[in-house]
Structure 1
Amino acid sequence: MADIEDVLPFSGIFLKLVVILGLTFAAIIVSRYILKRWFWPIVKKTETKADDRILHLFESLLLFFIILQGMQAVIELFRESIRPYIEFMDDIFFLLYWSIGVYVVFRFISIIANWYLSRVPLRDREEIDQRVVRAVKYMLMLIFAVLALSVLLQHFNVSKAALTASLTAIGIGGIIVGLAAQSALTDIITGMVIIIDRPFRIGDRIRIEKLDTWGDVIEIGWRSTRILTRDHRLIAIPNSIIGTDLITNYSIPDKMYRVDTEVVVSYGPDIEYVRNLIIEALKREDWIMHDKPIEALLVEFTDSGVKFKARCWIENYVETRVSEDKLNTAIYKALINANIAMPSSDIIIHYAERQGG
């Protein structure tokens, strides 16, 4: 009779073990079937590989979760036999779940970073974005690692006072470093925003209104942006200044550029005659774009005469100053040859302006 009583509990445990293993195996098959039947066809229609990697990550996470749940159910069957070790087993399972969670989050951050880089043009990706994306990725990983570590320490009942003191010390140290490097941190953060937002790229010609500075961008660094001015001077401008100033980019959408000048003509000559005289003089020049508008606009009646604004287009903004000289010279010669008087005190020369002005 004793032998039968010993056999029955064992057979019951064995039966439960078979059921648990069967349910675990069935759950794995059903989950993989659902993913393959409904989710993978949708993902394969997308153009990016990020969706594939995310679904692979989710599939692995689901597999690990099912297996761990099955293992925990098996452990429960023998709970009475291994009671002295239950707490240790619980800690082992917590570490497994914790490790899987950390891995999934880190992997997800890497997938998103790679997805962003894949959407950036290759030229800019090689020069700039890899540095920024890598920095942001590691920063996010560090923040999550600190949070995950605090959860781990709390689970293992690390002294709350010790944990609080450590976090306070880290916070105070961060504040001290932040205050000491406030300017540098502002420049670095603004530099990252500039690189991500892309108001300009290396090789673009920009104007920084506050500093009244023109130049070609030759480097976008962590702390400063370096531009080469038109008189061949290298200027390093802190990114914090660029981030708060108005920037005019003369290279986007293209290098085409409009130059103009204002000239005052004395009262008397016919308006259309003067207008046509200026336009015809510009049409004879070979440095302008003849497929773009050539205009002579009457903009104002001044005390000494009629003010015209003459404007035309050139192919490359690099020739701005030379083109301004040619524009003024052509108009001056045309008006002088036609005996059109120009009050010298009212001749106004303006810098060229961008299209759309």
Structure 2
Amino acid sequence: MNSSMDTLQSYIQSFGYDLLSNVLLITGTSFLLWVIWRVFYGRLEALTKRTNLAWDDLLIKAIKSPISILIWLWPATVSLGLVLSSHTDTDTSWLSQVDLLLVISTFIWIFLRLIQNVEEYVLAQKKRDETTVQAVAKVARLFFISIGILTVMQALGLSLSGLLTFGGVGGLIVGLAAKDLLSNFFGGMMIYFDRPFKVGDWIRSPDRAIEGTVERIGWRMTIIRTFDKRPLYVPNSVFSNIVVENPSRMLNRRIYETVGLRYDDGDKVSLIVEDVRVMLENHKDIDAKQTLMVNFDNFGPSSLNFFIYTFTKTVNWARYHEVKQDVLLQVMDIIKKHEADIAYPTQTLKLDPNSIYQPGSVKDIIVD
């Protein structure tokens, strides 16, 4: 790479032009190459649009900007080498390493753009789990960034074997210093692999004041949007030490209500209970395959109580309350049909006529 740079600079200087002319020549050549690349890219883009595959479109979009930047920056290093060699005695061999770093960075940039394009395309299809797609994309980014860093270090002349040897000792030191960061990282990996929840799920924890909808699962923390629209940033390590409930994965929602009848309607309780049971068994939004119970329960202080225990087919929170409202209104209609009524708290006071106070019958005793 170094010899090729020197050869290119010597070839440009052989034209006999002054420094400014050489720089303008390189700039004009860069512009010409850029125009050729834009025309060639336009042809490629037109060809890919004719195909039924989406992957070629994603690849073409990924290489557009990195190649354009490389066309301008790589000749710029040649111009910089000419300027430095003409005005100073500085060794310009390091520019060859800059060019190598540009090439490596361009390839890494292309891969990262391709991963981003593929991730956005797959998520737009609404056919894949968002959490899984994001996890695969993050692992792919981490892989290519790691490869790029190792390649750059190798290009700079650093010994990878020595680095790996140092990593054994240094890794222990870094692990002790960044144990919280590492615990959050592995906590995020646990979420991706165990999948207790995914983006969009409603979760809550009985151990902590955590409840809301999962917006994003990162490597270090998870963002949860509470129901009052406040963002909640939870370190991933927390989820390895608490119980997490995921109501979004419920199969049914439960209706469990107690209804009280007046004591005057005691002879109608069995008929009302039976009619309520029949109504629930034939309700289109009640899952009759699940447990369904309607039974007289207990003698309350001012009511005869029976309970309703059943499950709805829907798990949607808003729809569940609509179904529950319809069930309770039908229960009320059944009670009215039997000329009964729902009890309300009452008290009956019985007075003994012999204990009624009569003036003058009681002597007040005053104790000094």
Q: Given the two structures, how large is their TM-score scaled by the length of structure 1?
A: 0.43
* Greater relative contact order (Cα < 8 A, sep 6+): 1
Higher gyration radius (CA)? 2
TM norm structure 2: 0.42
